[in-house]
Amino acid sequence: MTEGQSVSVVGLGKLGAPMVACLAEKGYSVIGVDVNQTAIDQINEGEAPVQEPGLDEMLDRNRDRIRATSDYSDAIANSDVTFIIVPTPSDADGGFSLRYVLVAIAQIGAVLRTKDHFHVVVITSTVMPGSTGGEIQAALESASGKRCGKGFGLCYSPEFIALGSVIHDMLYPDFILIGESDPTSGNVLASIYRRLCNNTPPVSHMNLVNAELAKISVNTFVTTKISYANMLSEICEHIPGADVDVVTGAIGQDSRIGKKYLKGATGYGGPCFPRDNVAFGFLANSVGATAAIAEATDVTNRKQVARLTSHLLSRLAPNATVGILGLAYKPDTNVVEESQGLALAKELLSKGFSVVLYDPLALENARQILGSQPVYAASVQDCIRQADAIVITTTCQEFQTLKPTDIAPTDSSQHKLILDCWRILDREQFAQVCEYIPLGVGSTTA
Residue 143 in this model has a pLDDT that exceeds 80? yes
Burial of 437 (0-12, 13-18, 19+ CB in 10 A): buried
Q: Reply yes or no on whether the pLDDT at 192 is more than 50.
A: yes
Please state which CATH class domain 6-206 belongs to.
alpha beta
DSSP letters of 356-369? EEE-TTTHHHHHHH
Q: Which CATH class is domain 217-302?
A: mainly alpha
Q: Is the pLDDT of residue 1 over 50?
A: no
pLDDT score of 5 = 81
pTM of the predicted protein model: 0.92
User: What residues act catalytically?
Assistant: 272
Q: Which residues pair with 82 in a beta bridge?
A: 8, 121
Bridge partners of 156, per DSSP, are 123, 179
Instruction: Tell me 249's DSSP state.
Output: H
- Residue 444: band (very low, low, confident or very high) from pLDDT cuts 50, 70, 90: low
Residues pairing with 81 in the sheet:
7, 120
d(CA 24, CA 8) in angstroms, rounded, equals 11
Phi, psi of 409 (to 5 degrees): -70, 150
User: Over 90: is that where the pLDDT of 445 sits?
Assistant: no
Query: Are the beta carbons of 153 and 122 closer than 8 angstroms?
Result: no
Helical H runs in 178-326?
183-196, 208-237, 244-251, 273-286, 292-302, 304-313
Over residues 343-393, the pLDDT tens digits come to: 999 999 999 999 999 999 999 999 999 999 999 999 999 999 999 999 999
For residues 40 and 131, what is the distance between their CA atoms, to the nearest angstrom? 28
Torsion angle, CA of 403/400/345/443, rounded to 10 degrees? Answer: -70
Strand pairing of 203-206 and 176-180? Answer: parallel
The SS3 of residue 277 is: helix
* H-type alpha helices, 388-444: 397-400, 404-407, 427-431
Q: Are 341 and 369 in contact (CB under 8 A)?
A: no
Residue 4's pLDDT is 43
CATH topology of domain 304-438: Rossmann fold (3.40.50)
Residues 13-23 pLDDT 10s? 999 999 999 99
Q: Which residues contact 292 (CB under 8 A, 6 or more apart)?
A: none
Distance CA 246, CA 178 (A): 38
Q: Crossing angle, helix 99-112 and helix 137-144, to 10 degrees?
A: 30
Q: What does the alpha-carbon distance between residue 337 and residue 56 come to, in Å, rounded to a whole number?
A: 23
Rg, the chain, Cα only = 24
Classify 143 as helix, strand or coil: helix
Q: What digits encode the pLDDT tens for the residues 296-336?
A: 999 999 999 999 999 999 999 989 999 999 999 999 999 99
Domain coordinates in residue numbering, the chain: 6-206, 217-302, 304-438
pLDDT in tens, 46-91: 999 999 999 999 999 999 999 999 999 999 999 999 999 999 999 9
322 pairs with which residues across the strands? 355, 389
Neighbours of 421 (CB within 10 A): 28
- Dump pLDDT digits (tens) for 281-290: 999 999 999 9
pLDDT one-digit tens code per residue, 388-423: 999 999 999 999 999 999 987 765 457 899 999 999
Sheet of strand 203-206: strand arrangement: 66-69, 29-33, 6-10, 81-84, 119-123, 152-156, 176-180, 203-206
Whether 6-206 shares its CATH topology with 304-438 is answered yes
Average pLDDT of span 248-271: 96
81-84 and 29-33: which strand pairing?
Answer: unpaired
pLDDT, one tens digit per residue, over 211-250 is 999 999 999 999 999 999 999 999 999 999 999 999 999 9
Q: How many CA atoms lie within 13 A of 165 on its CB side?
A: 9
Q: Which helix (H) or strand (E) holds 69?
A: strand 66-69
In this predicted structure, what is the pLDDT of residue 2?
43
Beta bridge partners of 418: 390, 436
Q: Each residue of 199-212: pLDDT tens digit? A: 999 999 999 999 99
Q: Amino acid letter at 61?
A: R
Q: In angstroms, rounded to a whole number, what is the distance separating the alpha carbons of residues 417 and 291?
A: 40
Distance of alpha carbon 436 from alpha carbon 427, whole angstroms: 7
